[in-house]
Every structure is written in structure tokens, then in C-alpha cells.
Amino acid sequence: MVSFSSELQSYSVGKRVELASKTFLKQDCLEKYLQCMDSVFSDSIHYIDPVHELHGKPAVLGMLKKYVPRIKNEPFDFTLLHEDETQVLWSWVLNMKIKFTPFRFTIHGLVRAELENGKIVRQREYYDPMESIGVIPLVGFLYKLVLKMG
């Protein structure tokens, strides 16, 4: 990665993630987004979400490089909830159209990032990947029925 602006390096981790998510994604600046995220991750980051478990900065940045372009033109809302020297919490809401269908869906996520020496060493994302299928009439009904059956 190209070194990130020294001015932005003075921002807190949470503020850099906020800038990347609120500004660079909306401006379709994938390279700036990735540079900003590169600046907040430790080399040994451990990243977990409902469909991934990744170790190391190259793996996490590779995943972002693959998936972020899919959402760059979709409504994305980011909210920085809390930040101190040991953790950052943020929420996000993604609204997206399912390709080749008339259906749009919304997924709500919550992220907890643990910090050491000003870098994210562990990031855990919480969201329901099945939340998106609720908009598909029969599939959404069956998924909710199965959940209720417990």
C-alpha cells in the first residue's frame, strides 16, 4: 500500500474508519478507502464476521478489495458509536439490490474492534447474512418460520 497522508495519520482509528466509510466509499475512491483501512489494521489483525475468519492484514485487505466494489454505488450508512484507547464500536446499514431480481434488501451490522498501540488487532462484525433473503417472498417466509420453530 502507498503510505497514507500524514495529516490523516493524526486522526484516531475510529475517525479514519469513519472517513473511509462515509467519504471514500461515496466518492467511489476504492484505492483511498483501502489505504485508509491499511493504516488502521495491525499486521496481525484477526478478522471475524459470519462468513469469514481471516488472519493478517493482506487477507483482510484482499477481502475488502473483493467485496467493497460490490457495494460502492449502494446506500451505505456508517455510525461511529464509541471509541477509546482499547476499542472502537461502529454500526452500519447496507441497502442493496439483489442482482437480476427486483428485490432490495437491508442488512444491519455492528462492529467491535480491539486496539493495541493505535491499530486494530481484532475486528468482529455482527450481522445476519440471511437478513437479506427476507425480501424474497417465499424464501423469506420459510426462513422466518424455521427461526420461530427454534
Summarised one tens digit per residue, pLDDT across range 84-109 is 999 999 999 988 777 777 777 888 99
DSSP line for 6-28: HHHHTS-HHHHHHHIIIIITTTT
Residue ranges of the chain with per-residue pLDDT less than 50: 1-3
Backbone φ and ψ for 139, nearest 5 degrees, come out as -65, -45
pLDDT given for residue 2 in this prediction? 40
**Does the domain spanning 6-149 belong to CATH 3.10.20.30?**
no
pLDDT at position 1, please? Answer: 41
Going from N- to C-terminal start, the domains of the chain cover 6-149
| pTM of the full structure | 0.83
- pLDDT score of 37: 94
